[in-house]
Structure 1
Amino acid sequence: MFLSYSFTLWGLWLILLTVVVQSLVAAVAHRKQSQYIPGKVDENLSHDSFVFRSHRTFHNSLENLAIFVLPIMLAIFAGAEPQTLTVIVWVYAIARIIHMALYYAIATEKNPSPRSYFYMIGLLATLAAYIVVALELLSRGA
């Protein structure tokens, strides 16, 4: 069963690896500060600080991880079309990587910022995952 979902699973692997990398980047940035308290980001920091941006990038990914990965797993267990899931997962993975790169590179308080567009692409991929699960369950009479 999982062989037909191999590209989907590799996409999920990339998404999870991206979050691990973000965690490491945020931890290193945090510890390079002259003064820091482990586990606490100075509330006075804003987008002009890479510490703030790396922390927010990581936490934004954490906030979105479960709401994306869980419906993808449900879709796999429900037997959804592998190619459809592959497209959804890879669109999400690439959008989140670009979102991360833009968040790291651009210090702006402007909204929408360039990263916002890639956040929205990831959100649309998430909604597509929920639709696929619902359609698959309905087609099976569940």
Structure 2
Amino acid sequence: MQVNDAYSMTVLVMGLMAALSFAQLLILDVAGLKGRHKPGHPIEVDQSSFLFRAFRSHANTNESVAIFILLAMFGIFSAASPNWLNNSAALYLLGRLLHMLFYYSNYSLARSVAFGLSLFGLAGMLIAGFLPWL
């Protein structure tokens, strides 16, 4: 199946989100190995611990990626405005990337702003998907 070229940016962002999630998983695994974390044991809540921040960053991405995928598919199948859907998807990706980097660096205010960017991206995708139905 070939997706309409108008939505190729949204499809690319889906692939880039998969790459970002994979990178977060690898970083988390390496941090766990370096920290001698025993698999299956809880990670101690400690913002000063890189392992904890890597775990939370990965978990936070997992919490929103299903919504992103649903909204991307909804927008494409609803024939949403390609510019609006593509730009909103790109904003979501940018927000997720910055969220990850700021979480790793322990910059909580910047992390929260980046999280807000990703939420605006999701909201834009939701609106783009519903507009053709109005």
Same fold (TM over 0.5): yes
Q: Using a 3 Å threshold, how does the CA distance of structure 1 residues 107 and 133 change in structure 2: closer, same or farther?
A: closer
The CA deviation at 1:27 is: 1.0
Paired letter, 1:41? P
State the distance in 1 between where 2:40 and 2:58 align.
13
Please say if residues 75 and 136 of structure 1, whose CA atoms lie closer than 8 Å, have aligned partners that are also in contact.
no
**2:31 corresponding residue in structure 1:** 29
Indicate the RMSD between aligned Cα atoms, in angstroms: 1.5
Is 1:3 equivalent to 2:5 in the alignment? yes
Paired letter, 1:124? F
The CA deviation at 1:42 is: 2.6
Where structure 1 has 5 or more consecutive residues not aligned to the other structure, the ranges are none
Where structure 2 has 5 or more consecutive residues not aligned to the other structure, the ranges are none
The CA deviation at 1:65 is: 0.4
**2:121 corresponding residue in structure 1:** 125
Q: How does 1:1-142 map to 2 (within 5 A)?
A: 1-34=3-36, 36-43=37-44, 45-106=45-106, 113-138=109-134
TM-score normalized by structure 1? 0.85
State the distance in 1 between where 2:46 and 2:88 align.
32
The CA deviation at 1:137 is: 2.3
TM-score normalized by structure 2? 0.90
Q: Using a 3 Å threshold, how does the CA distance of structure 1 residues 21 and 137 change in structure 2: closer, same or farther?
A: same
State the distance in 1 between where 2:70 and 2:32 align.
30
The CA deviation at 1:97 is: 0.6
The CA deviation at 1:3 is: 2.1
Which digits, 9 at most, give the CA deviation of each residue in 1:60-85, with x for residues without a partner?
Answer: 00001011221111110111121111
State the distance in 2 between where 1:14 and 1:55 align.
20
